[in-house]
Amino acid sequence: MADITVLGAGGFGVALSVMLERFAHRVTLWSAFSEEIEAIKRDGEHKKLLPGVPVPDSIQLTDDISCVAGKELVIFAVPSFAVRQVAQKAVSYLDENTIAANVAKGLERGTLKRLSQVLAEELPRNKVVVLSGPSHAEEVARGIPTTIVCASDDRESAQKVQDIIMNKTLRIYVNDDLIGVELGAALKNVIALAAGINDGLGLGDNSKAALMTRGITEIARLGCALGSQRETFAGLSGIGDLIVTCTSMHSRNRRAGILIGEGNTAAQAIEKVGMTVEGYISCKCAYDLSHKAGIEMPIIDQMYEVLYNDKKARDAIRDLMERPKRHESEMVWLLSR
């Protein structure tokens, strides 16, 4: 049994807390917003973000960030854009032996940093791990068998988190390729938006399979150029997470994509989904990263045009289909400058 704080009381923070409590951990769930904490206390669940999942009284609910003190593990379950800010709030209360685990899937806008880099900068005394894989909150909360990876530059910390968290509903594999795991996690959301557009346009299974397969190929291409291993993208945080995100209605990114395919602008689609659509920001980050590294990412380029320059989705699909001929395993992928 471990003492664990989960930072962020959205869908995934609540799901993780409920799952960890079920396996006898002492869990504290923190939100920056006192109204959110009060609402969960009052309703016994998070009515908006994880309805129908009871939050037991044994989970301590608080908006006081000093709740990170003295914990074995602190899990950052806030949206990507809030990770740095929450780490800055927590740092003065954290013990140096506490492991910081990030579950947010994204890159930092502007700096293009991976979130483990952000945490390492803000929490220089703490070991950092990343948990990632196909793990919808709705299913984790209900104990549906789920598999994820725990990645870190520090194998011992990853194994420790595996020891603490793994249970009969959540199987965890250790992974040493932090860069690959984080890029897979962040960029699959862009492909999920594309898969949603495919569905919203009324296209088919062939076209969706094409987006997913060529999508993971270009994510891997960028990843390899940035120092990760190709096989990571065939794993849980690569193709695994891509499959779940591109095929499930639990995915906000896919739902936003469907709305765009049906004729909404990106802004309208995000407003209608009503929650964070992380693929929108990740698309801009991936676009900037790939152009900086000189790596060809045709689906990302087209998604950037659709999301940021109001290109018609049908025109984007046409332009993808009419690209110059290629060999499937072609290694000539440097952008011509």
Ligand X SMILES: NC(=O)c1ccc[n+]([C@@H]2O[C@H](COP(=O)([O-])OP(=O)(O)OC[C@H]3O[C@@H](n4cnc5c(N)ncnc54)[C@H](O)[C@@H]3O)[C@@H](O)[C@H]2O)c1
Instruction: Indicate which residues carry an active-site annotation.
Output: 188
The Cα diameter of the chain in Å comes to 60
Q: Under the criterion CB under 6 A, does residue 12 sit at the interface with ligand X?
A: yes
C-alpha to C-alpha distance for 317 and 301, rounded to whole angstroms: 11
For 49, how many CA atoms within 13 A lie in the half-sphere containing its CB? 19
Site string for ligand X, 210-229 (x = CB under 6 A): --------------------
Q: Name the one range near ligand X by CB under 6 A: 170-178, 272-280, 283-291, 302-310.
A: 272-280
User: What is the distance between the alpha carbons of residues 287 and 60, in angstroms, rounded to a whole number?
Assistant: 41
Number of residues that bind ligand X (CB under 6 A): 27
Kindly write out the interface string for residues 228-267 of this chain, putting x where it contacts ligand X by CB under 6 A and - elsewhere: ----------------------------------------
Residue 301 has phi, psi (to 5 degrees) of -60, -45
CA–CA distances in Å: residue 36 to residues 29, 45, 53, 274: 11, 10, 15, 16
Among 10, 215, 235, 279, binds ligand X (CB under 6 A): 10
By CB under 6 A, residue 188 contacts ligand X? no
Q: Binding ligand X by CB under 6 A: which of 39, 225, 275, 293?
A: 275
CA 8 to chain centre: 14
> Taking Cα atoms as reference points, which of 135, 138, 20, 124 lies closest to residue 73?
20
Please identify, using beta-carbon distances, which residue of 67 and 78 lies nearer to ligand X.
Answer: 78
- Number of residues written out for the chain: 337
Q: Which residues, 6 or more positions from 180, have their beta carbon under 8 angstroms from its beta carbon?
A: 223, 228, 229, 232, 233, 237, 238
In the stretch 24-63, what mask flags binding to ligand X with x, by CB under 6 A? Answer: -------xx---x------------x--------------
From the list 18-26, 102-110, 116-124, 230-238, the region that binds ligand X by CB under 6 A is: 102-110
Q: Which helix (H) or strand (E) holds 76?
A: strand 73-76
Q: Binder to ligand X among 8, 180, 184, 223 (CB under 6 A)?
A: 8
* Contact by Cβ (8 Å): 119, 89: no
Find the binder of ligand X among 103, 201, 277, 300 (CB under 6 A): 103
Q: What is the CA radius of gyration of the chain?
A: 20
Residue closer to ligand X, measured from CB, 203 or 244: 244
Using CB under 6 A as the binding rule, whether residue 136 contacts ligand X is answered as yes
Residue 79 binds ligand X (CB under 6 A): yes
Does residue 276 bind ligand X (CB under 6 A)?
yes
CA distance to 165, 198, 240, per residue, from 149 (Å): 11, 29, 11
> Which positions lie near ligand X, rule CB under 6 A?
8-13, 31-32, 36, 49, 77-80, 82, 85-86, 103-106, 135-137, 275-276, 278
